[in-house]
Structure 1
Amino acid sequence: MSTESPTLKLSELTNALDDFFQKRFSGRTFWVIGEVSGHKAYPNRSWHFFDLIEKEEGADRLKAKMQVVAWSPGFAAISRFERETGQRFTSGLEVMIKAEVSFHQQYGLKLTVIDMNAAFTMGQMERKRRETLEKLVKRYPDFIQKVGDTFHTQNQDLALPRIIKRIAVITSPGAAGYEDFMHSLEGNPYGYTFHVDLFFSRVQGLEAGITLSRRMYEISSNPDPYDLAVMIRGGGAQTDLFVFDDFGLNREVAKSEVPLWAGIGHQRDQTIVDLFCHTSHKTPTKVAEAILLHNRRSEEHVAGLREALMISGKEIIDQNKSELRQTSLSISALVPRILHRQQRSIAEFFNVIQRYGVKNISSRKTALNVLFASIKPTLRARILHENRQVFEKQSKLIQLQEHQLDREHMKLEQIQQIIRLSDPRKLLKKGYTLLSVDGKIVKDASELKAGDAIEIETHAEKIAAEVKKISPKN
């Protein structure tokens, strides 16, 4: 089989490539810019392995990718980078590395780290942070504004309750900062108690920003509102602070209806969460101390009001006592004179009533006598008339009763005559008989049967008999 290209063994091709790279790149170094991806560290061996990638502008599609190794010199450069920046070397960092290009027949093409430019990475981080801030202010002017060199959010305008009781805590599982926070709250010297709900979230990795945003939304939309939300982090590398500059997270922080206090523990410049939250503290312990201080100030304020109220009340009572004493003395002097005048007035009034009462009673008695004399004849005539009416009605009632008795008597005689005519004995005298069984008159022969003992009663006697045979009528 013929081909236009020469046929080579793989080893021959790799040898050719090795010669090429040795001639072209041996002893040369390059400053290379890219994003760290797939980083793995081996501190015990002083090694780092990672990929350096470049993405297309405005997209996540890869434009270039190369494997990178850092042996002892590179490991020392990365350690120096972490000390200078305060950032842990990890995936996601934009870095500028000084590297050698090498080719190995078995392991392929690689970059070997010689040195790092820490200033470049810090500049890239700050640039991204500024871009995120500008985008947030531009897109959400209703709850995020820039005032001079500072930022103002809706969350910062929320008023804290006088006493903080219900607290929502956003933290990572097992975070030491959460333990410090709870230890400070529960061991407070004032005996304050709190209701704390945990909202766990990752604070590292690509998904951390999404999870933190979701937790902020859950807290803000809880039907039983919280007094305060707390976002804490239990130490760690400065790189972990990248997530607190996340666009979606800070949108939720700025518009949250629950005041957010941050204690994410860092020494570098503030994160965007620090800028947008209600109040920022350096550490979780500082957050707990601020909560206790807030409640303590409220308690002292109430105690001060109570003391001021007691002092004011005592002054008012003392003043009223003095006024009452003066009033009592004045009343004591006035009462005898007032009583004397009232007694005199009552005596005069009683005399007037007595005079007018006797005169009025006498005139009333005379008038009654005159009235009785005028109505006496009329009353007597009225009584006589009513007596006559009663007598006439009584006479008519007696007549009616007699007539009714006569009619009833006649009816009774007619009934007695009918009874007499219906007497069975009269029928017996005419030749009829009565037939009975066991004292019960037989009205129908069908009631009898052969062998029945019967009694036959005539006008003159009773005859005992026995039924032998019953023949039907033809």
Structure 2
Amino acid sequence: MPETITDRTVFSLLEVQRSIQKTLTDRYSSSFWVKAEMNKLNYYKQSGHCYPELVEKQQGKVIAQMKSVLWREDFVLINKNFLSYLNEPLKDGIKILFQAKLMYDPVHGMSIRILDIDPSYTLGDLEKEKMESISRLINEGIFDQNKLLPIPLLPQRIAVISVESSKGYVDFTEVLDNNPWRYKFFHYLFPSLLQGEKAIDTIRFQLARIKKVIDHFDVVAIVRGGGGDVGLSVYNNYELSRAIALFPIPVITGIGHATNETVTEMVAHANAITPTKIAEFLIQRFHNFSVPVMQATEKVTDRAKRMVLDERNKLRSEVKLFRSVTATVTLEHRNHLNNAGGLLKQQAKYLLKVYRDELAQVQLPEATTAFLKDQNNTLLQLEKNVENMSPEKVLQRGFSITMKNGEVIKDAAQVQEGDVLETRLANGVIRSTTLSDNKK
């Protein structure tokens, strides 16, 4: 009860709080629906309760703000409903239409208790964000920019944005590294969050890192798997989609779902849906190159074999023909040469006879005859002198030749005691043994 102090009615703080509490309870006795942006969820894992921070913005400025509470049992049901309806959990930064009940506590003040949230309203807002992102990218003329980039003939060097421990990343690398055709791939991981609001900034950060070393890579692969379809709304974000659309090399996405394509997947060079499909997409590029090459190799080999066989048969025919022709030509030329040789001999004999007869009729001058006679006598004397100098004539004059082992002895130093010597005379040979040598 209020008290009177110097003619003034005075209320205690508790009385004022209780009065406000009663007024609000009477005025807001039933629940009501409110739309607002859940700026932060403020989920406490230990208790399971949430204390969402609700705001209303106008032209980017906060014009209203209020604390709220979402008890654990309500949160579990609402979050389950969201996952079923949106494939998205309750999270920061989404617009919600919620059923609320006003609460006022003398100690903690006024707050709103969230009883339920309509996921269809949030879905509409997420879809609106998606359509706005698409519209902005189209208006900027960059929606298809990454799609139009030429992908290398053999995309071998891959920058991977993923989580090292994720199943999708493991599947992706195993399919690439263990392909049965033994195609060689180089892949390097740029680790990033792949869902939740923080995924937007971390993926963009890794794209910026890759851009600095862009010459080392052929494509970028965004690999997400093992998380189901939950948390995909971040891939409708305009800033993230724009970064991918403007990226200077092809970006391939495999974020793990087959329905409700996100903006990021729309603007990427290719959407392979799953990590395994990305790997198969890259392997297929190698197939597209290697299969025609292999077929061409087989055709060239077959054609070369046939050409060699054809040329071998042609050569054999030509050799056979050549042998036949050359045999005939050789025989003809041999007969011709034989005939020519016989004729030449006859002509030579005839000419010699003619010249001999002519010479016999020629009378040489007397001086020439005398000169030839003197020269003939000189030659006869020289012949006699040479004959007198022959070994036989020398031996007949009493000389001898001593030899050892067929070698003529010219010096006593050539002979040693015990050597067997041969002495050749004009008539006969004497063999002797050296008893002593005198080399002085």
CA distance in structure 1 between the partners assigned to 2:212 and 2:330 by the alignment: 75
Tell me the distance in 2 between the aligned counterparts of 1:135 and 1:313.
59
Q: Contact 2:158 / 2:220 at 8 angstroms: preserved in 1?
A: yes
The aligned residue for residue 19 of structure 1 is 22
Name 1:48's counterpart in structure 2.
Answer: 50
The answer to whether the 8 A contact 2:36-2:55 is kept is: yes
Question: Is 1:37 aligned to residue 39 of structure 2?
Answer: yes
Against the structure 1 CA distance between its residues 155 and 341, is the aligned structure 2 distance closer, same or farther, given a 3 Å change threshold? farther
**C-alpha separation between the residues in 2 aligned to 1:341 and 1:257?**
82
Deviation at 1:200, TM superposition (A): 2.3
Query: SS of the counterpart of 2:136?
Result: helix
Please name the residue that 2:378 is paired with: none
AA matched with 2:100: A
Matches within 5 A, 1:32-111: 32-41=34-43, 47-57=49-59, 59=60, 61-71=61-71, 72-73=73-74, 75-111=76-112
Relative to structure 1, the CA distance from residue 119 to residue 342 in structure 2 (aligned partners, 3 Å threshold; closer, same or farther) is farther
**Which residue type is aligned with residue 10 of structure 1?**
L
Match of 2:266 in 1: 275
Which residue of structure 1 aligns with residue 179 of structure 2?
188
Percent identity reads 25
Alpha carbons 1:217, 1:256 under 8 Å: kept: no
Write out per-residue CA displacement over residues 154-186 of structure 1, whole angstroms, 9 at most, x where no aligned residue.
322333334332111112454342223223333
DSSP 3-state at the match of 1:213: helix
Contact 1:48 / 1:75 at 8 angstroms: preserved in 2? no
Secondary structure, counterpart of 1:156 in structure 2: coil
Question: 2:166 aligns to what?
Answer: 175
Deviation at 1:221, TM superposition (A): 4.9
Cα offsets for 1:246-281 (capped at 9, x unmatched): 323322322333222111113541111211112112
- SS of residue paired to 1:41: coil
**Offset at residue 37 of structure 1 (A):** 2.4
Change in Cα spacing, 1:50 to 1:335, as seen in structure 2 (3 Å) is: same
Point out where structure 2 has 5 or more consecutive residues left out of the alignment.
345-440
Amino acid at match of 1:219: I
CA drift at 1:24: 0.2
TM-score using structure 2 length: 0.67
Length-normalised TM-score, structure 1:
0.63
Tell me, yes or no, if the aligned pair for 1:167 and 1:230 is still in contact at 8 Å. Answer: yes
Equivalent residue number for residue 277 of structure 2: 286
Q: CA deviation at 1:21?
A: 0.8
Does the 8 A contact of 2:163 with 2:191 survive in 1? yes
What is the CA deviation profile of residues 361-405 of structure 1, one whole-angstrom value per residue up to 9, with x for unaligned ones?
xxxxxxxxxxxxxxxxxxxxxxxxxxxxxxxxxxxxxxxxxxxxx
- Between the aligned partners of 1:335 and 1:133, the Cα distance in structure 2 is 86
- Residue 97 of structure 1: CA displacement? 0.9
Q: Per the alignment, do residues 328 and 77 of structure 1 end up closer, same or farther by CA in structure 2, a change over 3 Å counting? A: same
- For residue 300 of structure 2, what is the aligned residue in structure 1? 309
Q: CA deviation at 1:232?
A: 1.2
Q: C-alpha distance in 2, partners of 1:103/1:179?
A: 52
Cα deviation for residue 17 of structure 1 reads 0.9
Q: Aligned partners of 2:56 and 2:241: how far apart in 1?
A: 27
SS in 2 for 1:212: helix
Shift of 1:338: 5.5
- Tell whether the 8 Å contact from 2:156 to 2:218 is kept in structure 1 after alignment: yes
Per-residue CA deviation, residues 131-152 of structure 1 (Å, 9 max, x unaligned), is: 111111112x2x43xxxxxxxx
Note the residue ranges of structure 1 that are not aligned, 5 or more in a row: 145-152, 352-474
Map of 2:136 onto structure 1? 135
Shift of 1:14: 0.9
In the TM superposition, residue 42 of structure 1 has moved relative to its aligned partner by: 5.1
Question: May I ask how many residue pairs the two structures share in their alignment?
Answer: 335
Match for 2:67: what amino acid?
Q
2-structure distance, mates of 1:299, 1:252: 33
Partner-residue secondary structure (3-state), 2:51: strand
Is structure 2 residue 326 aligned with structure 1 residue 335?
yes
Correspondences of 1:232-381 after superposition (within 5 Å): 232-236=223-227, 238=229, 240-336=231-327
Q: Deviations over 1:397-432 (max 9, x none)?
A: xxxxxxxxxxxxxxxxxxxxxxxxxxxxxxxxxxxx
SS at 2:313's partner residue? helix
Given residue 290 of structure 2, which amino acid in structure 1 is its aligned partner?
Answer: E
Counterpart of 2:127 in structure 1: which amino acid? Answer: E
Deviation at 1:44, TM superposition (A): 7.3
